[in-house]
Each structure stands twice: as C-alpha cells, then as structure tokens.
Structure 1
Amino acid sequence: MLQPFLHQLLHALKNLLPIVLVVLFFQLIIFQSVPSNPISIAIGLFVVAIGIALFLLGLELSIFPVGKNLANQFARRGSLPLLMFFGFAIGFAAVIAEPALIAVAEQAQLISDGRVDGLTLRLIVATSVGLVMALGVVRIILGWPIHWLMIGGYITVLLVTFFAPEEIVGLAYDSGGVTTNIVTVPLIAALGLGLASSIKGRNPLTDGFGLVALAVMVPMISVQLYGIWVYQFSTAATLVISEAGPSTIHWLLKAIIDLATMVKDILPMILVVLVFQYLILRRPLANPLKVTLGFVMVLFGLYAFVLGLKLGLFPVGALMAEQLINRGMNSLILLFAFMIGFATTMAEPALIAIGNQAEEAAKGKLKGSVIRLIVALGVAIGITVGVYRIISGDSIHYYIMAGYALVVILTAFAPKYIIALAFDLGGVTTSEVTVPLVTALGIGLASAIEGRNVLIDGFGLIAFASIFPIITVMLYAIAVEHFSQLRSAAA
C-alpha cells in the first residue's frame, strides 16, 4: 500500500508544482520578497498533497471499482428506472462530498454573513446533479442529441440570470463549475461512456460525453433560483462568529468536529453503494476489506485536503491578491491570472484522463495533447477576463450572458462530434487545486479594491474558467473542419 500512496503523493505534488512555480516567479522576480509565513504555507501545500493522494488512492480502492461494477450490472439488467435511480444516487452522493464545493460553500456562508447557508447550497447543487444524471441516462438510452439540451439549457440559464440578484450570480456559476471535479468526473464519464458503448447504435464520442456538461449547467439554474428566494423573499440569517482565542482544547474540539463533518459528507456515498449492492442487486462486495480501507482513506484524505486549503492555498491566493493590488499595476494582475490559469490546467489529471478518452473515442479526429493546450488557453483567457471584470467593476451579468450567448451560437455551427466533449471539457478544467486558489484570488481582489462587494465581485472566476474552454474547443473544431474541407476541395 505504501508504494501506490507514494506514487499518488508524487502525482499530487507534481500537480501543485505549476502553482508553486508561478507564485515563486512573482514573489522572487516581480515582488523580490518572501511571504511572512512561508513555513505555514509550505506545510499547508504539503498537507493538501497528502490529502489528494489519500483521497485518490481511496477512490481507486473503493468507490471507482464498486461504482463501475454497479453500472455494468444495471446495464446488463436493462432496467431504465433502476439506471435512472442509480444515476441520481451516484450524482447526489458524489457531489455532496466534493471538496471544492465544500470550500466554496463555506466561503459563501462566511462572506454573506450566513444569509447563504453552506449546507443548503450543497444540498441544492447535489440534488441538481443527481437529477441531471438521471436525465443523462435517459438521453443516452433514447439517443437524444446533446446540442438541443445544451442550447435549451443555457437559454434557460441566461433567462434566470437576467432576473437573479447580483449577489448570487457569480456564486451560482462557480457552484456549477465545481460540481465536476476530483470525485465526480471519473464516475460520471465512466457511466456515460459505459452506457454508450454497451447500447447498440450509440457512439461513445457523441453519446458517451455530455453528462459532465449537464452536471455543470443545471446547478447554475437551481442556485440562482435559490438566490432569488433568499434575497427577495426570505429574511436574513445571522452568522455567529466566536471571538474566543484558539486554545489547544478549542483547536482539538474543532478538529474532532471537522472530522465528524467529513464522515457525514462521505456517508451518502457509502450508503448508496451498500444499498444498491446488498438490497437491490443482492450481491456481496467482491473485496469488503479492501473497499472498507478505501473508504477510510477517502475520509482522512478529504479531511487533510480541507485542512491544507486553510493553511496553504487560501493564504497564497489572498497574499498574491494583496501584493498585486498594492503594486497598483493591473497588467501584473492580469499576467498572474493568465499564468495561473494555463499552468494549473495543463497539469489537471481529470483533463488528461478525458483528453485520452476523447482521443480513443474519436479514432484519429482529435489529439489528447492538442485538446489540453486548447483547453488550458481557454482557462487562462477566462480567468484573465474574470480578473479584468473585478478590476473594472463591471457587472458580471453582462460578461456571463455574453459568454454563454456566444457558446449557444457556436453550438449551432460546431461539428456535432465535438459538442458534448467541448461542454464536458468546460466542466473538468476546475481542479481540486485550482478552485481554492482561484476562489481566494477573486475574494482577495474584491476585498482589496475599494468599492467592490466581496459577495458580488469575489465569486465568478471559476465560471469564466468553465465558459472559455468551451469556446476555444468549439472554435478549434470549426477551424479544423473548415481547413479539412478546403484541403478536400483543393484535392
């Protein structure tokens, strides 16, 4: 077990390396200074890496093999209600335990002074993704074209955005962006590709992809509806913050409470597996000891991850935002946003996995390495545009609505084989490392710039990181198709 753990740890450290290099470049070359608490930040980053390693290894031992086995057994049974129920349960259970969503929900509750309830936000997002998984299963089985669902869905998103209060818009789009991450992407992609491969007449490239995209889109609608209710029809809640100093007993009690919270977070996933395995399929687990060990590793990995965020990544984002603002050079802020967006996306493991699967499914039409470059460029542009919006103080409504209006137009003209993949790639760009850093950067900038509202202006960067890769991938596919037709005509 030690060797696989060390392999995952090295992999996690490698994914953190681009962020470290960008931060070091700005600290040593641009600012020519060292952070006041470098040891604490370094320990926090290392704890994040340990958490990711434990979490991923635990997933490989427990949730992934059990989830894939359950999906295959239900597909062989050919029962649509069972498949829909399983899709809902897996979607809900995976998202409710999503580390990035937990981090964003906690920040939203803190910044809104308790008006946005973190647990309610997570339940709304998880229920939305569960319903989307059930709908996605039906789409694959019945062969519905994904582009009509996406065009109709994003027109609905834009209509809801028009009426939503500005305090909730950025948070809603960010909540959609973080649903597809370290837990959900592999499970959702495996479910979609597995179904498309096992059903006669379905194409894995056009029918297997798309579930991730739906999981990003629908929470944007539901969270904005929640925001309309909270800010227009309900009374404000009060967030009570203790002023007591952090004693050793207080810290210990808090650690125990945090660990108990993590147990509660992953419990739905465990219950889904046990209920479907023993009560519905009536079959025992293949290796119960190994699966149990995997769930324990998932629990402690999730705990270490969240602890490391508070020690390392959130302070890094806030520190960089403060230093960049103090320099008063907007060009430096935009350069940092571009470099962080590109560097972290190129190392994103979920993107690498989806790119490889797309290359295999496309049979010569696409290259995984080219897809990663196009997506990384899109994320870099998106975060840069989002940071510019915070600096300028423009309303997020216009940027978001213009971005998705362009996406809808491109969907009508893009080759049909690329549409589902393009939307899925927009969902996998926000990693377990990128989300906390980008969130901290946005909140830090909104806090440091005079006249900005943290709740209104601090959120939204994740949304921009999801929109622009869809645009760049579709533009790439349109360009490739155009030049291919020109070559054919010339020949």
Structure 2
Amino acid sequence: MFYIRSFLHSLLHALKNLLPIVVVVGFFQLVILQQVSDDLGSMAIGLLIVAVGVALFLQGLELSIFPVGKSLSNQFARKGSLAILLSFGFAMGFSAVIAEPALIAVAEQAQTISEGRIDGLTLRILVAVSVGFVVALGVFRTIFGYPLHWFMITGYVIVVIVTWFAPEEIVGLAYDSGGVTTNVVTVPLIAALGIGLAASIRGRNPLIDGFGLVALSVMVPMITVQVYGMVAYSGGTGAAAMEAITAQVAQAPAKSGIIAALLDLAGMLRDVLPIIITVLFFQYLVLRRKLSNPKKIAFGFALVILGLYAFVVGLKLGLFPIGTSMAEQLMAMDSYAPVYLFALMIGFATTMAEPALIAIGKQAEEAAAGALNGNAIRLLVAVGVAVGITIGVHRIITGDSIHYYIMGGYILVILLTLLAPRYIVALAYDLGGVTTSEVTVPLVTALGIGLASSIEGRNVLIDGFGLIAFASIFPIVTVMTYAIVSQYRSERRKETQ
C-alpha cells in the first residue's frame, strides 16, 4: 500500500512537471502557428506514458540505486582502503557509461561517416575511461578534502585552450560526448556515490564535498575527444553522427509491435546491467557481504528499467513528432522572432520536466538539510538552459563561430567560480551536467539542425550543432550568480543590523 501511495504521489508530481511542455506546445500551435497538429491524441498519450515512466523511475531510484550507492560508499569508507575506493569509483564511472545507448549510437555513426578514421569502439572506451578516471579523481578529492573549484577551473582552462586548437567539425562531437555521459541513470548513481562518501567521512560536508562528480564526468570527455579528434579526425563526424541520430529518432514512432517493444526494453536492461554487475562484484567479492534487502533492491532496479522504458516510449510517441514538425513550421516563417521565443520557452519547459534534474535537486535539498530549495534550484537551471539555447540559436542565425561563444562562456564560468561561495560550486557544476538528457537533447538537436538546414550559407556539419553545449554552460552561470547575489544581500543585511 505504501508503494502505491508513493507511486501516485510521484505520478502527480511528474504530471505537474510536464505541464510547462503542454503549455508551450499548445501556445505555439494555437497562437503562433495557428494550426492544430493531427497528432494531438498521440501526444497526450505519450505525455501520460512519460509521467508514468518518471514516477516508476524515481521510485526505483529510492529503492535501489540511491541506497546501494550510499551503502557501498559508507562501507568502503569504513574499510579505509584508498585503493579499493578509487577502484570502486573508476568501475562505477566506467560501467555506467560504456553501455550508454546514446554514446554507442554516436560512436557507430562517427566511425561510419569518418570512413574509419574515428574508431567507434576506441571512442566509447575513451569516453568511458575518462568518466571512470574523473569519478576516481572525485573520490580522491572527497577523501582528502581538496576544493572542487581548483579542479574545475584548471579543467575548463584546458577545455578553452583545447577548443581553440580543435577543428570546428570535432567540437560538436566532443561536447556531445560529454553530454551523453549524464543520463537519468548515471547522474543519480554518481551523485549518490559522492554524497554517500562525503557523509561517511568525518569533517566532510555532503553539499560541498559530495557533489561535483557529475561535473567532472562532463568536462574530461570534452578534452579527451577533442585531443583524439586532432589526431584522427577527418570529415564531419560529430555533426553528421548527431544528424543521423536525430533522423532515426524522428522516424522511431513508425516502429511498432511486440518485437520492437522487447528490443527497446532489452536496451534499457543493457543500459543498467553494467551498473548491476559492478554493484554485485564489489558487494559480494570485494566486501564479501550480502545485500541488506536483495528483493527490495531487485524490485527497485526493475522499476528503474521499466520507468526508463516507459519514459523513452512516451517521448517517441508524444514529443518527438510534434517537436520536429513545429521546428520545420517555425523556420518556414518570415521572421526569426518566433524561433527565439520557441528556443527560450522550450528550453525552460523541457528542463523543468527533466527527471535527472528532479532527482539531483531532491538530493541537494536533503544534503543541505533544508538550506536549499529543490524547486528553486530547478527553476534557476531551467532559466539558464532557456537563455543558453536562445544564445545558441542566435549563433546559428548569425553564423558566428562556436569557438568564441564556447570559450567566452567557460571564461565567464571560471570567473564566477572564483567569486561564488564554496557551498554552491560543486552543485552548480553538477546541475550544468544534468540538462543534457533524454528530454532536452532530441528537441534541441532537431531545432539546431532545422535552423542550419533552412538558413542559406550555413553548414549543418558546423553550424547545426553546439546547442547542447550552451544548455550545459548557462545553468552554471545562473546558479552561481544567484548564490553570489544572495551572499552579497545577506552580508549587507548583517552590516545594516
């Protein structure tokens, strides 16, 4: 009975979070485009399935990934072996990414389009090793209490330098490779690992020391893929790969039947299986202890898989066709003003519905013991994504080079990092990483490709991609700016008292 009440509560919460998307789509259909899509019934069903998927997913996290991640971290911290902790961090990061479907798709398309100059397996291993390395690095940082901001400042200085020298065509693939590492499974798992470890070590603050692993997981693949591209890249791999993926996504609703459904469900199981194997290996072979409640944990993992499956099916059925159709219609209009407005509104709406953001916002609220409000955090991130995507759309319309925008954005992030209060830095970087997941990426990618395809003189391979990078940068800016302003006001109030 408790599980049913919890599920219904999560379902109502998910429906409320999807409401902004319905409002944006309805507004543009009725007011801007002045035509109603024939797929409204399908869209309504798809949104309902999305809500059910989010509810199942969140409940599954609470029963499996969150408690297991925190429990393992606590047990390893008590065991006191640095080598085991670092190995556990590397294994969790590597296993969570190597089987990521979006990364597999990008790698396969990159190999095909580059005619073998980029090896798909090499690319996947490179990204997975990068994430494993940075999770281990994050564990090392948490254990010894090193400030995260120095890691992030150093890393993003390197990102800016590497981006300056990287070929224009590789930048899209590099930033997308960083983006696809932070999905609705990896974000909660990696966040739970960091928070659990920080909570178990005396003198560590879960808010300051527990967050940051997600941010590192996004940053380092950007560097390694660009360096790899400098050596091996030839042609339009990154952009063309994402274009092919977007075309496949747009056609996905045409697939139906029991076989297709089973294949999709098997794909979700494949996504979660490496994590399950890693957990069982360290629990039974390294710690040599049984899980405290294996049936409950197994049930939780099953809910996670079913929730992910329902989530993706709902998106394909309800949002992808509408998003693609609306992008084409908007770009056929005489003015670009509706495009800017759509970018702003859809960026905000899709981010508010992002399940990974909901999960990490909830964790931040718990880690801060009520000092932070999860809904306020989500609102700040959604505003950042909306602003970032709008600026990215402006770049495509004007034809400016992505290099200057990306480097300028990260220079601003570095400056804000130096000014921001320490408690917000790790969380802000993590929040920038959770914006590039299953809801945001397909809609934003379709918008960028459609814009570049319809504007004369634009190259889809170079100009059509990069919106995801903007969606990652500007939430960091909004969250840190809010913290700086709040701290300033607090200090002024103390001075006047």
Partner residue of 1:212? 214
Counterpart contact for 2:65–2:188, Cα < 8 Å: no
Q: Displacement, 1:233?
A: 10
Structure 2 portions without partners, runs of 5+: none
Percent identity between the aligned chains? Answer: 67
Post-superposition Cα deviations, 1:151-190, rounded to whole Å, max 9, x if no partner, equal 1100111122122222221232233234334222322222
Measure, in 2, the Cα distance between the counterparts of 1:46 and 1:144: 45
Q: Displacement, 1:325?
A: 0.3
Partner residue of 1:19? 21
Select 2:139's aligned residue among 137, 140, 145.
137
Structure 2 SS opposite 1:179: coil
Measure, in 1, the Cα distance between the counterparts of 2:48 and 2:124: 27
**1:299 alignment partner AA:** I
Map 1:373-388 onto structure 2 (within 5 A): 373-388=379-394
Partner residue of 2:127? 125
Q: Displacement, 1:8?
A: 4.0
Select 1:407's aligned residue among 403, 407, 413.
413
Measure, in 2, the Cα distance between the counterparts of 1:360 and 1:294: 20
Q: Displacement, 1:311?
A: 3.2
Structure 2 SS opposite 1:106: helix
| Worse overlay, 445-454 or 64-73 | 445-454
Partner residue of 1:173? 175
Partner residue of 1:436? 442
Partner residue of 2:160? 158
Select 2:483's aligned residue among 477, 484, 488.
477
Partner residue of 1:426? 432
Map 1:72-471 onto structure 2 (within 5 A): 72-96=74-98, 102-103=101-102, 106=105, 114-115=113-114, 121-232=123-234, 254-355=260-361, 357-358=363-364, 361=367, 366-471=372-477
Measure, in 2, the Cα distance between the counterparts of 1:118 and 1:59: 31
**1:187 alignment partner AA:** L
Q: Displacement, 1:367?
A: 4.8
Counterpart contact for 1:16–1:49, Cα < 8 Å: yes
Q: Number of matched residues? A: 485
Measure, in 2, the Cα distance between the counterparts of 1:288 and 1:47: 28
Counterpart contact for 1:317–1:438, Cα < 8 Å: no
Partner residue of 2:58? 56
Structure 2 SS opposite 1:327: coil
Structure 2 SS opposite 1:34: coil
**1:106 alignment partner AA:** A
Post-superposition Cα deviations, 1:347-381, rounded to whole Å, max 9, x if no partner, equal 44544554455456557865545433333222211
Post-superposition Cα deviations, 1:70-97, rounded to whole Å, max 9, x if no partner, equal 2221111111111111112222233345
Measure, in 2, the Cα distance between the counterparts of 1:451 and 1:206: 47
Measure, in 1, the Cα distance between the counterparts of 2:147 and 2:413: 17
Measure, in 2, the Cα distance between the counterparts of 1:285 and 1:364: 30
Structure 1 SS opposite 2:36: coil
Structure 1 SS opposite 2:347: helix
Measure, in 2, the Cα distance between the counterparts of 1:289 and 1:344: 34
Measure, in 2, the Cα distance between the counterparts of 1:119 and 1:314: 28
Counterpart contact for 1:103–1:436, Cα < 8 Å: no
**Under a length normalisation based on structure 1, what TM-score does the superposition of the two structures give?**
0.86
- Over aligned residues, Cα RMSD in angstroms? 3.5
Measure, in 2, the Cα distance between the counterparts of 1:330 and 1:424: 33
Measure, in 2, the Cα distance between the counterparts of 1:200 and 1:321: 52
Post-superposition Cα deviations, 1:175-206, rounded to whole Å, max 9, x if no partner, equal 32343342223222222222222222223332
Measure, in 2, the Cα distance between the counterparts of 1:166 and 1:454: 12
**2:170 alignment partner AA:** I
Q: Displacement, 1:25?
A: 0.7
Measure, in 1, the Cα distance between the counterparts of 2:363 and 2:84: 27
Counterpart contact for 1:317–1:444, Cα < 8 Å: no
Counterpart contact for 2:39–2:322, Cα < 8 Å: no
Measure, in 2, the Cα distance between the counterparts of 1:331 and 1:199: 52
